[in-house]
Chain A
């Protein structure tokens, strides 16, 4: 293999795949990237066996071929290269990298030791704009669980029903759900449970305007444009019945200024317990009182004006969950709906076209 490309293209290609290279691995070849030529493009691939990323970048290809390179070292080298074209040449189990007067010769592993990428039948897939998908993912994937006790909750549920597309994520204590309308619908229902890490790659590597080709096999999901491919292992379902836990009888509505509520909760959370982050919200006529009481530390209280006409209710929350959800409410005002102290509370943007709802389960207050 022998190619020449600009330093910027080389850097871009490497940084695109760098995030998938596992920091520690039992399979040495995984700490490498696979570099090969496809027509007049240089293709860079990386995988941790769960997620695989492949990026093509324009190059002058003198001789076709494939080689692996130590990912971390090459990325560090690329960062320090002078402003000059990069020549890559593979021969005899080594790869030489020349840029200006800088020359590197690195040991490499044969490309046929590199794991093959998952086979996904793109011909049977569907096409959609990446912007919609990115929007859904950006508003929901934060809510997925990090704990391994229920692997299914480590994933984001992605459903398509006709022209409606949803994403839902939850850790069992709080949940986020967003829906968008699709212009063109793929045929048939789609139900996928996708690792958030893969969706973050989708957010990172595709432009919002790009048309994505998406397809799945039994165990994998693939996203593709001409330039970039992302594959991920899917999580086996079924996903818990989230619709059942979305409250339908929350009969008290509260509207608050999003920024005001956020800063009040933030202030209270400073004095909240490190363990439960417990803050008490008392909803009353036109006034939301916030209070914390933490043995060994002290107490604090605050209040903000709200629109509320229901009967007074006191609810305990993990402040961290509230703040997390409020971060994703982009409207000036936020609507909360509630029913009773131990029932789920919903948070939604006000005056926004987004079909977005978050749900937070309270802390049981024993007093």
Chain B
């Protein structure tokens, strides 16, 4: 049996700010865009637990945060500071095992199965990590200890801040049973609604459902995964070297198509998806690769690397479209189209200014603003809650 830890820093950016300036402790602190300058545009990057009491959360428009709590302390994002604190914390984690998989700037999985002889069991290691991080960085971390990644991550979320939740082997189902289905990985708005219609409200309800019923309603892959997770099964390994090399998505048309406009629209939809996943990971990309398969089975790929960071559909789609137009010889029907983003890096705290930008305004700003608003809505209401007009499938009223 493996021992997996998930360590997740508590309100990381805000906590670092409070540590740098102890006068902030106890007050609501919001890190993000300037609520007054910039006309209240931009979003909350992070906030502390005091600010959350006012209903403020990350990705909320900064103007909304200001409305909810004008007395909060609003601070700019200091990316370099957070990265340097993060890398020191990761070094602490790496002192316990070589198997540390960094998920983002403030969370990581650890496989400590092989370290227990040296440092004691999972709980002892978790306590020791919490103590060491607090001693060195004056910051708190919530840790989940469990037999697999899924349970460890769930456990770390349960008692934030400064939490320590243990899921012992043999009690996985008991731990999961009362939790709402929305806690399951892969359950969003759509699946959640469907489960609700089936009378399934808790993870325990899913675990108790016959597998074939889930497969019938959610397909073999998704249904099977729900069932396994609900039963506390997850065999994904902790992969230390695992840096995301690329984020991609491709689709095969039902039948080979000559309709170039349809291909372009499909490409737009795929771009929208990969751009959202990119932002969800807090990453930006530099290289766009287009994959095109023409009938019967010839595959072409074309890529372009830009000298700027890409995060939005507005920035990525024109590049993808140019690659498509250059690759497509318009001779044969198209079977498959795909896009992938690589040259991935954390979103950079610095921004190259442009000569022809309006003063004080970032040209990518409005696209970035729209994207984060959409991300937020998608997060709350599901993937299809907001769509580009171009991607909405028109249903013509009958008789026309």
A335, B305: Cα distance in complex, Å: 33
A contact residues around B329 at 8 Å (CB): 26
Question: For window 229-279 of chain A, which residues contact chain B by CB distance below 8 Å?
Answer: 240, 242, 245, 273, 275-276, 278
B contact residues around A172 at 8 Å (CB): 354-356
CB atoms of A342 and B355 under 8 A apart: no
A140: min CB distance to chain B, Å: 15
Q: Which of the segments B78-86, B199-207, B272-280 contacts the partner chain?
A: B78-86
Contact A363-B352, Cβ < 8 Å, known A147-B306, A275-B309, A295-B87: yes
A contact residues around B319 at 8 Å (CB): 148-149
CB atoms of B286 and A363 under 8 A apart: no
A146, B307: Cα distance in complex, Å: 9
CB atoms of A366 and B76 under 8 A apart: yes
B interface majority secondary structure: mixed
A240, B348: Cα distance in complex, Å: 28
B contact residues around A367 at 8 Å (CB): 78, 80-81, 349
CB atoms of A278 and B355 under 8 A apart: no
Question: Which residue of B81, B86, B306, B350 contacts A276 across the interface (Cβ within 8 Å)?
Answer: B350
B353 is an interface residue with CB less than 8 A from chain A: yes
B contact residues around A295 at 8 Å (CB): 80, 83-84, 86-87
CB atoms of A366 and B355 under 8 A apart: no
CB atoms of A173 and B354 under 8 A apart: yes
A364: min CB distance to chain B, Å: 4
Q: How many residues of B contact A (CB 8 A)?
A: 28
A84 is an interface residue with CB less than 8 A from chain B: no
CB atoms of A361 and B84 under 8 A apart: no
Give the most central of B83, B309, B322, B356: most A CB within 10 Å.
B356
A276: min CB distance to chain B, Å: 5
Contact A361-B286, Cβ < 8 Å, known A293-B80, A295-B87: no
A15: min CB distance to chain B, Å: 28
A172, B84: Cα distance in complex, Å: 31
- Interface size class for chain A? 20 to 34
A174, B306: Cα distance in complex, Å: 15
B contact residues around A148 at 8 Å (CB): 319, 322
CB atoms of A365 and B350 under 8 A apart: yes
CB atoms of A366 and B78 under 8 A apart: yes
Closest to B284 in A: A275
Contact A364-B350, Cβ < 8 Å, known A149-B318, A173-B355, A245-B355: yes
A contact residues around B79 at 8 Å (CB): 366
A362 is an interface residue with CB less than 8 A from chain B: yes
Question: For window 309-340 of chain B, which residues contact chain A by CB distance below 8 Å?
Answer: 309, 318-319, 322, 329
Per-residue B-contact encoding for A154-181, CB less than 8 Å = 1, 0 else: 0000000000000000111111000000
A76, B337: Cα distance in complex, Å: 38
B41 is an interface residue with CB less than 8 A from chain A: no
B contact residues around A26 at 8 Å (CB): 329
A196 is an interface residue with CB less than 8 A from chain B: no
B143 is an interface residue with CB less than 8 A from chain A: no
Question: For window 291-348 of chain A, which residues contact chain B by CB distance below 8 Å?
Answer: 293, 295-296, 316, 318, 342, 344
Closest to B76 in A: A366
CB atoms of B352 and A173 under 8 A apart: yes
CB atoms of A361 and B307 under 8 A apart: no
A contact residues around B84 at 8 Å (CB): 295
CB atoms of A296 and B351 under 8 A apart: no
A359 is an interface residue with CB less than 8 A from chain B: yes
B173 is an interface residue with CB less than 8 A from chain A: no
B contact residues around A361 at 8 Å (CB): 352-355
A240, B363: Cα distance in complex, Å: 15
Closest to A364 in B: B351
Closest to B79 in A: A366
A contact residues around B352 at 8 Å (CB): 173, 276, 318, 361, 363-364
A245, B357: Cα distance in complex, Å: 10
Enumerate 16 A-B pairs (CB-CB under 8 Å) in ascending A order: A147-B306, A149-B319, A170-B355, A171-B307, A172-B355, A174-B355, A242-B355, A245-B356, A276-B348, A276-B352, A295-B86, A295-B87, A359-B355, A361-B352, A364-B353, A367-B81
List 7 additional contacts besides A149-B319, A344-B355; criterion CB under 8 Å.
Answer: A148-B322, A173-B353, A295-B84, A359-B355, A364-B352, A366-B351, A367-B80
